[in-house]
Structure 1
Amino acid sequence: MTQPTPSQWSLLPDEPDEPVAPDPLVQAASAALRSRDGHFYELTGQVNQPGEPQAGISERWKRFFAAGGAAGWQELSAKALRVQRRVLDDGASYNVHSDAPPLPGEGAPLARHWPLELLPMLIEPDEWREIEAGIVQRARLLGAVMADTYGERRLLKEGLLPASLVMAHPQYLRAMHGAKPPGGVHLHVLSFDLTRCADGLWWVVGQRTQAASGLGYVLENRLIIAQQFPEAFRQMAVQRIAASYRDMMQSLMRLSPAGERSRVALLTPGPRNETYFEQAFLARYLGVTLVEGADLTVRADKVYLKTLAGLERVHVLLRRVDDTWLDPLELRPDSILGVPGLLQAARAGEVVIANAPGAGWLESPGLTAFWPSVAESLFGEELKLPAIQSWWCGEESAWRTLRPRLAEFVVVATFSSSSTTHHFTPIVAAELSDEALRDLAERIDADPTAYTLQARVKPTKQPVWVRGALEPRVAVLRVFAMTDGQGGWTVLPGGLARVAPKRDPLADAWLSIQRGSLSADTWVMTDGEVDATTLLAPRLQAADLRDVHWTVTSRAAENLFWLGRYTER
């Protein structure tokens, strides 16, 4: 067998009976390996520093590519095309909104096809156990903080959390103070954004607590990508994710006042919402009713679904509507997305809302620096997963000290929906001119509480298949934690990876599908038994359809009536 050159060996499977040809795909992949910019590179499993020898491919990626054999390389471009075709067939999309205010009669979002990358992110079992332990700890912490802040407020009284930050947050809902949700559980599903930094450790860069979007896209990505690499998926013992969705539904039933007989609905803002596809996809997968605010009504503190057959009780709401839009009676009176009286139903304990109203303030990056001391106070523990260093400018001493060094940081909004920082895009201060930097400092001086400074980091780089070659791109991994309804938490063994579409300085600070990022499946390997749970429905037969009880909402029936009438005209 001809010995491969250094530019070939690292990405070729062992094929003793075939000579190794200088394949252009292999050369392109080897060029990607030579990236030496101080980022951790998932393909090599280490940091590629300038001046250091070229690293070879990591063992996990060797196993991945070896599963496809020598011909696997030649098929990657064809597989990428099949992925895009499947996305089109499924109608998977993401609605992109412009930051500019719409003109009268305009403003409809642009639906673009879901941007799915061919290659998954690979995570070893030992590595995942560390992530899992850290995420469970942080989920417990957020649950305890939520209960305290809407209850005794000990953390605020003792100064462990700044009252001026918590109480000023638009998504801290005073109407929910003193409310005790069913089972005492405020948070049911959480997501955390992670990236691996230059030290090789996973760092927390953000969290989502009011509506952890992405679970539907995780499913879509897994169903598509696993079909493209079936041998690799089987040989690498990738853990399945269906059991996490099953356990999530069981925990919600456990907390519901009606138990296993509960009706569960997913409350969506509607087709204009950016993640509407995944909301509909997730509702279908879980077997729950997809509803809008107009489909629901509250009577005697109970939530009902308006159907052609009359009112039907709803016991559990998986919500995708943000806090301030949930109830026009007590919150924003101009909201047409929520349900009048919903907060009163929640206070009465007659409906489980996942997550409980008023959880949005926990997402603030201004709180990041306070979590270690809060964890020490509540649990006597150090946080297992570090977070990106952050400084809330509302702390006068912090802003006064860091102001001369503003160019070293990324500036982000403290409050996601404040009037000051509405549609505020994170700013990499080092990329600004001197004049723009002075203007930014003056802007922060005018309202320091609205801004938070974050340290610049070098996020991990994930290999992506672009125009017949591997390229390293900055990536962030979103993982999901679910409560068991009894004080414990589990972590879905996978996640939604977001990958920068191009080399961009801003990508080091912020990755968003709205801004054109790609998504990727995440494979968590296990050294134990692979769970065989599936929630996919079998192929339906005509007899099955006759036995199904279809619930038709009054709103849908009215729309169908007018569709038929105007079609007839």
Structure 2
Amino acid sequence: MNNDASDSLFDELSPDHPGDWALSLSVPADPGHRDELRAGGKSSGDALAPAWDSFFEHIGTDGLADLSRRNDNLQRQIRDNGVTYNVYADASAGLQRPWALDLFPMLVSPQDWAQIETGVLQRTRLLNAIMGDLYGERELLKRALLPAALVQGHPGYLRSMQGVKPPGDTWLHIVGFDLAHGPDGRWWVVGQRTQAPSGLGYLLENRIAIARQFPKAFAGMKVQRLAASYRALMEGIKRMCPEGENARIALLTPGPYNETYFEHAYLARYLGLTLVEGNDLTVRDQRLYLKTLSGLEPVHALIKRLDDEWLDPLELRSDSRLG
């Protein structure tokens, strides 16, 4: 939506339905591109998609006329909260670049989300089973369902992990997926990241920031809340610890120069975890401990935010001091 031209257009247009107003102000997507705003995803459509029609109905014409101020508030909130994504290659932007966030949310219908949830859960179970087999019985290799050279020659394959059995046979606690619309408008998984995926902190900050700009729409549309997902993650980790609810969990970060360090600190604060770097930890008698002023304290679970090869200088990269 073109906010710069909105003030003059608001004086000329006065439809009864806010959605019609929004549609008249929007710029159609280029031919061949999906138009999220319009019904059917086509830029030639003359009606809003149902979710967007409901969104604009909730914010009303006053909300449409106030978009510039809300966008200014959003950008100010991003700056005040220090939300950054560190960029090493962009000298002009400096190391810490403010997080880029659109004013309007991405609306996903309950029906689409049900399809996404089913698909990503299925793929996560498959990926976890593959990990368990490749570091365990290796039936996939014995039956030639996967080429041995593809697995053992992969730079991400860690021979020192062969035979290791994680608690609950769970290799993947957090997985990130890249999603895109297919030609038929359905959601497709186009990629995944299983190794210390980023996003959980930015996701939460995005939701809070946008919800503050459109509180009536978020309440009226009954947007699904996120807190239960984070609570389930922590409860699942604690169930795998012998100490249960009393387990001490730490979040391992490579440090403040990592590109997503903001997220590491944000997540640790939100989840009530101890944020640690490699030098804060030590291993004694095959147990992990946190160094404190009062002595060593046991760490029962560790959420790592660095790739596997940097985790252990003894078994993996000897030049790494991050793990």
Provide TM-score, normalisation by structure 1: 0.52
Inter-partner Cα distance in structure 2 for 1:300 and 1:109:
43
Verify: 1:181 aligned to 2:184, yes or no: no
Partner of 1:61: 52
- Corresponding residue for 1:44? 38
- 229, 244, 257: which one pairs with 2:242? 257
Contact 1:11 1:57 in 2 (8 A): no
* 1:319 aligned to which of 304, 313, 323: 304
For 2:204, the equivalent position in structure 1 comes to 219
Which residue of 2 is the match for residue 137 of structure 1?
Answer: 122
Mapped contact 2:112–2:187 kept (Cα < 8 A): no
Cα distance between partner residues in 2 of 1:126 and 1:12: 30
| Distance of 2:89 and 2:266 partners within structure 1 | 24
The residue that corresponds to 1:304 in the other structure is 289
Unaligned runs of 5+ in 1: 1-6, 101-107, 339-569
Q: 1:13 to 1:243 in 2, by over 3 A?
A: farther
1:57 Cα deviation from its structure 2 partner: 1.3
**Aligned equivalents of 2:171, 2:152: Cα separation in 1:** 18
Structure 1 equivalent of residue 222 of structure 2: 237
Asked if the contact 1:293/1:337 (under 8 Å) is kept, the reply is yes
* Residue 292, structure 1, aligned to residue 277, structure 2: yes
Divergent runs of 4+, >3 A: 10-13, 25-28
State percent identity of aligned pairs. 55
Q: Alpha-carbon deviation of 1:99?
A: 8.3
Work out which structure has the larger RCO, using CA pairs closer than 8 Å and 6 or more positions apart in sequence.
1
Residue in 2 aligned with 1:148? 133
- The structure richer in strand per residue is 1
Matches of 1:242 and 1:74, distance apart in 2: 32
C-alpha distance in 1 between matches for 2:172 and 2:242: 17
SS in 1 for 2:107: strand
Name the CA shift for 1:327/1:55 in 2 (closer, same or farther; >3 Å). same
Local SS of the residue matching 1:305:
strand
Mapped pair 1:77 → 2:56: no
CA contact (8 A) 1:182 1:257 kept: no
One-letter code aligned to 1:189: I
Which structure has the bigger radius of gyration?
A: 1
Aligned residues: 311
CA RMSD of aligned residues (A): 2.3
Counterpart for residue 6 of structure 2: none
Q: Deviations over 1:118-177 (max 9, x none)?
A: 000001111111111111111111111110010111112222222222211211100000
Q: SS state of the match for residue 193, structure 1?
A: strand
| Amino acid corresponding to residue 157 of structure 2 in structure 1 | Y
Contact 2:39 2:45 in 1 (8 A): no
Tell me how far apart the structure 1 counterparts of residues 16 and 249 of structure 2 sit (CA, whole Å). Answer: 49
1:195 to 173, 180, 187: 180
The offset of 1:55, in angstroms, is 3.6
Q: Aligned equivalents of 1:11 and 1:67: distance in 2?
A: 17
The residue identity in structure 2 corresponding to 1:194 is L
State the partner residue of 1:332.
317
1:116 aligns with 2:101: yes
Amino acid in structure 1 at the alignment position of 2:31:
D
Residue of structure 1 in register with 2:3 after alignment: none
